[in-house]
Amino acid sequence: MISREAKQPDVSVVIVNYNVKDFLYNCLQSLRDAFATLEGQVIVVDNNSQDGSVDYLAPLFPEVEFIRQTENLGFGKANNIGFERCRGAFVLCLNPDTLVSEDTMDHMVDYMRRHPQVGLSGCKLLNHDGSFQLPCRRGFPTPWVSFTKIFGLQSLFPNSRLFGQYNQTFRDVNETYPVDAVAGAFMFMRREALEQTGGFDPDYYMYGEDLDLCYRVGRAGWQIVYVHSTSVIHFKGESTRRSSLNEVREFYRAMEVFVNKHFGASKLFLLFLRLGITVRSFIAYIWQYRAQWGLALADFALANAALMMGIKIRTGSFLGFPAYAYPEIPLIPAGFLLVSLLYAGEYSIYQRSSIRNLVTALMISFFLLSTVPYFVEDYAISRGVLLMFLGLSFVGLGALRLAISVFEKLLGRDADKRIAIVGVNDVSRQLMTDLQTAEARNTDLVGFVNTQPGAALPSWADPVLGNISYLNKIVRDHGIDELIVTDGELSRTEMLRNMTELAGHARHWRFAHSYDEVITSRIIESLTGVAPAAAQYKITRPGNRLAKRLIDICGSLFLLTIGLPIVYLASADPKVARHKLVLVLKGDYSLFGIYPLEGDSESKIGKIGLTGLAHINKAEKISIQALRSLNDYYLRHYSLALDFEIFVKYFFRRNSGVG
């Protein structure tokens, strides 16, 4: 049985909870059954949950010791706090999103007592559908093992002893054997081994700390064993689903920390590891924007098909241009059209593709392609072919957009909306009722996002998906299509920062205080193709962002090479100026941008500038509120002309000594 009495228990269980009260409830219930024949101690360390976990569960489980934290300390630090309270001969580190079997404690205690050389063990972890979870027995990420994991060789050859070392995929899951490491979701430790190694390393925040502890336990002379005879169901990732963590980034960051700590002498390996992480991050970035990339590639192919059809009609052959014109001629018109589409607002995470954008892009392309003959006569396209190219492109690209729109309404993101309400207030409650009444057939109200951390939440606000600080994570992991913001105190700039970071995951945003406002916002978006929240900021338009980035690259390259004397003549500290120009080249800063304000979220929308509206007006003499207003104006009304005006004023004021 589980007891809070002072006598020594057989097993002390430490659980770190974060916003998973529903899973934790089931976990604690399963522990009650598992301790039918043994004496148990259960400690829950709550990492400042926003879903009322402790208030809800403490009365239901009086035998459990709850420790409240005022901040999210991460997995390792929070577990260490729990370890200090442990009195059992054995200590179990257990995830809250698990269900232990009735025989789990008996099996593990019996095995550990019969094998005194084993300091740490794990059991079989299963997904909720009964499938096996690979991370419950692992090898250490040595140089070779890390290479096979990062570059996907383990996935390609899972049964190979050479390539399958990290997750031991070449071994039978129904056998018991020593391993390098087990998963932190279920780590059954001899208390002596735990005290000898000092618990988890606080340098890890999430991921990697279990590998590190196993490594140190092994170095201390203990065995680590995978025990197959009992199993635990693990609803993998529920705690991280409700936090702001990027799991992929944190996983590889943790691997790098581990390698630095234990294999730091291998500089070449660290170089390859970072290269692998960069490659995986790039692939993840491409995948994140796959819809935009896919549409752009489809447009490019259709534009080329339109050009070839125009040539066929004009000359009787698909390849009717002179030989010297290939391969440039087929690429130039489609390339111009793609850039024009980007400038017109296509491929944006903030707005849908639209026929209006397509028409705008075709007009820009016509102007650009009509001027080419005046500069490069050899690559001139006849006016007839050009008109047929543009006309057929309109038909092809327009048909594609129409097909996408129909698909989304029937089967895609508009078929069944997954909605989250940001804010817990009277407006939210009424909106919940209206949505469930008026849109019950095609709307799934997933839950609420709490905007007032620490405040008591009403019973009707269920489920609470998490805290506003973790909005991006919530949207990604719960597949939210539409966010409705009801908290009028939230900064719209802060919300737009979230929109930028979400990169298209939540495509519909509403600032609404009634159901009527939601409907109005949807109508405006359907007509214009632009989310009202995003339309306020011209800096977010893809064409503006592209043009601004090109100017930053060209300008910084010029000032770092040919124009370097200008830097020395115009700056008080040339070394600092050169460093900032390098940051502009890298994309961290911009030549023209917003003024940096501590704790402000606007830098997520527009980059901090070497100069800007605030800079040309002696920012140190302007109030914080005025600086915020200048930043907001720049983001809302951005244009290349505005940057040019800033440049002119900055140059003349600096040289005239004015201001």
- Rounded distance between C-alpha atoms, residue 317 and residue 631, angstroms: 55
The mean-pLDDT minimum among 108-117, 203-212, 250-259, 544-553 falls in 250-259
pLDDT of residue 197: 93
- The end-to-end CA distance of the chain, in Å, is 77
- Rounded distance between C-alpha atoms, residue 559 and residue 464, angstroms: 51
- Rounded distance between C-alpha atoms, residue 641 and residue 652, angstroms: 17
- In this structure, are strands 11-17 and 98-100 parallel, antiparallel, or unpaired? unpaired
Q: Confidence band (pLDDT; 50, 70, 90) for 174?
A: very high
Tell the burial category of 191 from Cβ atoms under 10 Å away from its Cβ (0-12, 13-18, 19+): middle
Q: Confidence band (pLDDT; 50, 70, 90) for 442?
A: low
Higher-pLDDT residue of 521 and 659 is 521
Task: Note whether 329 and 381 are within 8 A (CB).
Answer: yes
Q: Which residues pair with 14 in a beta bridge?
A: 43, 93
Topology of domain 11-128+179-245, per CATH? Spore Coat Polysaccharide Biosynthesis Protein SpsA; Chain A (3.90.550)
pLDDT of residue 461: 84
Q: Given a cut of 60, is residue 632 above it in pLDDT?
A: yes
pLDDT of residue 220: 94
* Nearest alpha-carbon partner for 19 in 457, 445, 432: 457
Q: Which 3 state secondary structure label does DSSP give 544?
A: helix
Is the sign of the CA dihedral 618, 619, 620, 624 positive or negative? Answer: positive
What average pLDDT does range 160-171 have in this prediction? 89
Most confident range (mean pLDDT) of 386-400, 525-539, 585-599 is 386-400
Q: Given a cut of 80, is residue 595 above it in pLDDT?
A: yes
The amino acid at residue 431 is L
Number of Cβ within 10 Å of residue 532's Cβ equals 15
- Rounded distance between C-alpha atoms, residue 432 and residue 435, angstroms: 5
Is the sign of the CA dihedral 615, 621, 624, 625 positive or negative? Answer: negative
What average pLDDT does range 404-417 have in this prediction? 69
Higher-pLDDT residue of 166 and 118 is 118
Q: Given a cut of 80, is residue 296 above it in pLDDT?
A: yes
Q: Given a cut of 90, is residue 567 above it in pLDDT?
A: no
Q: Which 3 state secondary structure label does DSSP give 182?
A: coil
Q: How many residues does the chain have?
A: 659
Task: Note whether 37 and 114 are within 8 A (CB).
Answer: no
Q: Given a cut of 80, is residue 493 above it in pLDDT?
A: no
The pTM score is 0.55
- Rounded distance between C-alpha atoms, residue 318 and residue 304, angstroms: 11
Q: Given a cut of 70, is residue 491 above it in pLDDT?
A: no
pLDDT of residue 238: 45
Structure tokens at 639: 């244009």
Helices vs. strands in the chain: H and E counts, helices first: 25, 16
pLDDT of residue 61: 94
pLDDT of residue 201: 86
pLDDT of residue 245: 41
Higher-pLDDT residue of 249 and 620 is 620
Q: Given a cut of 50, is residue 503 above it in pLDDT?
A: no
pLDDT of residue 100: 94
Task: Note whether 154 and 167 are within 8 A (CB).
Answer: yes
Q: Given a cut of 80, is residue 480 above it in pLDDT?
A: yes
pLDDT of residue 659: 45
- Rounded distance between C-alpha atoms, residue 560 and residue 552, angstroms: 12
Q: Confidence band (pLDDT; 50, 70, 90) for 331?
A: confident
Residues of the chain with pLDDT > 90, as a percent, come to 30
Q: Given a cut of 60, is residue 116 above it in pLDDT?
A: yes
Structure tokens at 13: 């269980």
Q: Which 3 state secondary structure label does DSSP give 351?
A: strand
Q: Given a cut of 80, is residue 193 above it in pLDDT?
A: yes
Most confident range (mean pLDDT) of 263-277, 446-460, 490-504, 585-599 is 585-599
Q: Given a cut of 50, is residue 243 above it in pLDDT?
A: no
pLDDT of residue 225: 97
Task: Note whether 602 and 497 are within 8 A (CB).
Answer: yes
Q: Given a cut of 80, is residue 421 above it in pLDDT?
A: yes
What average pLDDT does range 271-277 have in this prediction? 70
* Nearest alpha-carbon partner for 413 in 291, 551, 276, 541: 291
Q: Confidence band (pLDDT; 50, 70, 90) for 94?
A: very high
The mean-pLDDT minimum among 197-206, 324-333, 475-484, 621-630 falls in 324-333
pLDDT of residue 113: 97
Chain mean position to CA 551: 28
Which residues in the chain are classed under CATH 3.90.550.10?
Answer: 11-128+179-245
Task: Note whether 52 and 19 are within 8 A (CB).
Answer: no
Which residues in the chain are classed under CATH 3.40.50.720?
Answer: 417-534
pLDDT of residue 45: 96
Higher-pLDDT residue of 72 and 124 is 124
The mean-pLDDT minimum among 8-17, 232-241, 309-318 falls in 232-241
pLDDT of residue 406: 80
Q: Confidence band (pLDDT; 50, 70, 90) for 399?
A: very high
pLDDT of residue 32: 93
Residues of the chain with pLDDT > 70, as a percent, come to 78
Q: Which 3 state secondary structure label does DSSP give 13?
A: strand
Topology of domain 417-534, per CATH? Rossmann fold (3.40.50)
Higher-pLDDT residue of 45 and 466 is 45
Q: Given a cut of 80, is residue 137 above it in pLDDT?
A: yes
The mean-pLDDT minimum among 251-255, 259-263, 297-301, 631-635 falls in 251-255
pLDDT of residue 368: 84
Q: Which residues pair with 68 in a beta bridge?
A: 46
Task: Note whether 13 and 46 are within 8 A (CB).
Answer: no
Task: Note whether 349 and 509 are within 8 A (CB).
Answer: no
Structure tokens at 548: 């601004």
Structure tokens at 582: 């390098």
Quote the longest CA-to-CA distance of the chain. Answer: 95
Cα-based angle 277, 281, 284 (whole degrees, multiple of 5): 140
Q: Given a cut of 60, is residue 455 above it in pLDDT?
A: yes
Q: Given a cut of 90, is residue 34 above it in pLDDT?
A: yes
Phi/psi region, residue 209 (left: phi>0; alpha: psi -120 to 50; beta: rest), is: alpha
Over the chain, what is the mean pLDDT? Answer: 81
pLDDT of residue 16: 95
The amino acid at residue 399 is A
What average pLDDT does range 94-108 have in this prediction? 94
The mean-pLDDT minimum among 209-223, 367-381, 450-464, 618-632 falls in 367-381
Q: Confidence band (pLDDT; 50, 70, 90) for 398?
A: very high
Q: Given a cut of 80, is residue 577 above it in pLDDT?
A: yes
The mean-pLDDT minimum among 29-38, 407-416, 550-559 falls in 407-416
pLDDT of residue 417: 77
